[in-house]
């Protein structure tokens, strides 16, 4: 086998995807594997055992991120990293994140099988808590790695039951000893499903991801006044839920005012005291908004703040927006993007450049490591859904592009 015709084993990759999908597998065919839960522990144990069986050296950092390294001929060279995440949304699919990690494993198994030595070492990474569904924000481990998130702050983040991130990490036994960010990489490549409709619509197999939207996450609160549902006239109420409803619709208006790439989402809402005959005095909710253009993202911020203050004063409630995450749009590294594009072309795969609407660990590593991403299509562009689906052929194509890209970079 020479380097030019080396390909991954698509049956083995698919079998691994299906095997691990059973850890947290849902009746509807998705995965519920929230970060730092028992299911996450089980998939991490599987990962640790599997990479050791593949002869790789495993390290774990203080954020629980797992690094499996295959040595290179030249130990003085910084490793080339491949990676993504094994945690999922509560109603996640089988591919978001998982594909990037398991395709990386498949790449290393392929190099082992062919007895190929690279110049630089290669490191496969399973980043902790990419999703942010249990502990907000997401991408927090790669954020600490990149020096953009404070580690002590990350450790104190709480889930909805008040469990601290650091305690959950200890509970599953994955708080490592390695200082976060100590390992430096020569490059980082993340393979992921597109999570949008473009590649499928255009009949393209590979997306060369050149940029990613900026994203802002906020924990929000409307403070009104509780009172009796029967005896409080409509015109004297300070109903937190009705003010929330108006604000929610305003956020839906602000996004498209900034072009079709602006998006805003309210994913979690809680009205208190949650009694049918008490007017809600408080609403807690999350807000996620994104745009690929930094100035447009700023305009969205202003539009949202203006809506909050106008609705707040008209309805005599207080709308508070606490921004806990603010990642401006980024561009990926030109040279690593070129390596991805060249690899797709060498394999004769149709490809185009594309911008990521989703957040990824690669978006964070990009500020400290030359980074790029590879996208493959997913059915109907649907992700963060148990019905998320990608074909075996497209997964294999993405893994082959990953293999080649890594060979180009590692030498």
138 binds, among ligand GLV, Mn ion, none (CB under 5 to 8 A by kind): ligand GLV
What is each CA distance from 106 to 50, 131, 161, 392, in whole angstroms?
A: 11, 23, 37, 13
Give Cα 7 to chain centroid, integer Å: 27
Closer to Mn ion by CB, 193 or 222: give it. Answer: 193
Q: What's the closest the beta carbon of residue 226 comes to ligand GLV, in angstroms? A: 33
**Residue number of the CB atom closest to Mn ion:** 97
388 binds, among Mn ion, ligand GLV, none (CB under 5 to 8 A by kind): none
Closer to ligand GLV by CB, 245 or 263: give it. Answer: 263
> Is the C-alpha dihedral spanning 350, 355, 360, 362 positive or negative?
positive
Q: What's the closest the beta carbon of residue 89 comes to ligand GLV, in angstroms? A: 7
In this structure, the dihedral spanned by the alpha carbons of residues 333, 104, 10 and 379, taken in order and rounded to 10 degrees, is -60
Residue 191's nearest CA partner among 5, 407, 380, 360 is 360
CB 251 within 8 A of CB 263: no
159 binds, among Mn ion, ligand GLV, none (CB under 5 to 8 A by kind): none
Closer to Mn ion by CB, 13 or 242: give it. Answer: 13
Using the rule CB under 6 A, is 211 a contact of ligand GLV? no
Q: What's the closest the beta carbon of residue 132 comes to ligand GLV, in angstroms? A: 6
The interface with ligand GLV within residues 127-166 (CB under 6 A) comprises 131, 138
The interface with Mn ion within residues 83-102 (CB under 5 A) comprises 96-97
Closer to ligand GLV by CB, 138 or 370: give it. Answer: 138
DSSP state of 179: P
SS3 52: helix
The interface with ligand GLV within residues 347-376 (CB under 6 A) comprises 358-359
> Is the C-alpha dihedral spanning 16, 22, 23, 26 positive or negative?
positive
Residues 6+ apart with CB under 8 A from 364: 139, 142, 143, 145, 146, 148, 327
Closer to ligand GLV by CB, 144 or 358: give it. Answer: 358
Closer to Mn ion by CB, 96 or 194: give it. Answer: 96
Q: What's the closest the beta carbon of residue 262 comes to ligand GLV, in angstroms? A: 15
CB 141 within 8 A of CB 127: yes
What is each CA distance from 9 to 50, 55, 67, 107, 402, in whole angstroms?
A: 16, 18, 22, 9, 13
CB 354 within 8 A of CB 375: yes
Closer to ligand GLV by CB, 43 or 363: give it. Answer: 363
Give Cα 316 to chain centroid, integer Å: 38
Q: What's the closest the beta carbon of residue 76 comes to ligand GLV, in angstroms? A: 35
Residue ranges in contact with Mn ion by CB under 5 A = 96-97
Residue ranges in contact with ligand GLV by CB under 6 A = 131, 138, 358-359
């Amino acid at each position: 086998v020479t380097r030019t015709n080396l390909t991954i084993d698509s049956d083995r990759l698919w079998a691994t995807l299906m095997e691990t999908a059973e850890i947290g597998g849902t009746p509807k065919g998705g995965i519920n594997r929230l970060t730092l839960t028992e299911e996450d522990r089980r998939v991490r144990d599987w990962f640790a055992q599997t990479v050791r069986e593949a002869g790789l050296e495993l390290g774990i950092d203080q954020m629980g991120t797992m690094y499996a390294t295959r040595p290179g001929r030249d130990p003085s060279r910084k490793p080339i990293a491949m990676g993504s995440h094994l945690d999922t949304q509560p109603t996640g699919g089988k591919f978001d994140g998982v594909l990037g990690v398991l395709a990386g494993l498949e790449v290393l198994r392929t190099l082992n099988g062919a007895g190929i030595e690279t110049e630089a070492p290669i490191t496969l990474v399973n980043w902790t808590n990419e999703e942010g569904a249990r502990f907000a924000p997401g991408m927090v481990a790669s954020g600490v790695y990149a020096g953009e998130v404070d580690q002590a702050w990350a450790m104190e983040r709480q889930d909805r039951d008040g469990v601290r991130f650091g305690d959950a990490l200890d509970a599953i036994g994955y708080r490592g000893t390695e200082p976060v960010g100590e390992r430096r990489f020569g490059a980082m490549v993340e393979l992921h499903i597109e999570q949008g409709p473009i590649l499928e619509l255009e009949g393209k197999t590979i997306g060369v991801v050149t940029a990613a939207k900026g994203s802002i996450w906020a924990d929000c609160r409307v403070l009104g006044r509780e009172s009796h549902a029967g005896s409080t006239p409509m015109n004297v109420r300070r109903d937190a839920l009705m003010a929330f409803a108006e604000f929610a619709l305003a956020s839906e208006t602000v996004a498209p005012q900034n072009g079709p790439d602006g998006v805003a989402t309210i994913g979690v809402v809680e009205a208190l005291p949650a009694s049918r005959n008490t007017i809600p005095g408080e609403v807690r909710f999350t807000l996620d908004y994104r745009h690929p253009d930094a100035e447009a993202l700023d305009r969205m911020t202003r539009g949202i703040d203006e809506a909050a203050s106008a609705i707040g004063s008209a309805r005599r409630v207080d709308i508070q927006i606490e921004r806990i995450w603010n990642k401006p749009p980024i561009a990926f590294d030109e040279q690593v993007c070129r390596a991805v594009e060249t690899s797709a072309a060498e394999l004769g795969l149709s490809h185009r450049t594309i911008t990521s609407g989703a957040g990824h660990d690669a978006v964070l590593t990009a500020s400290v490591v030359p980074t790029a991403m590879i996208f493959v299509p997913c059915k109907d562009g649907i992700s963060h859904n148990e019905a998320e689906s990608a074909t075996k052929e497209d997964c294999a194509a993405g893994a082959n592009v990953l293999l080649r890209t890594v060979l180009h970079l590692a030498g």
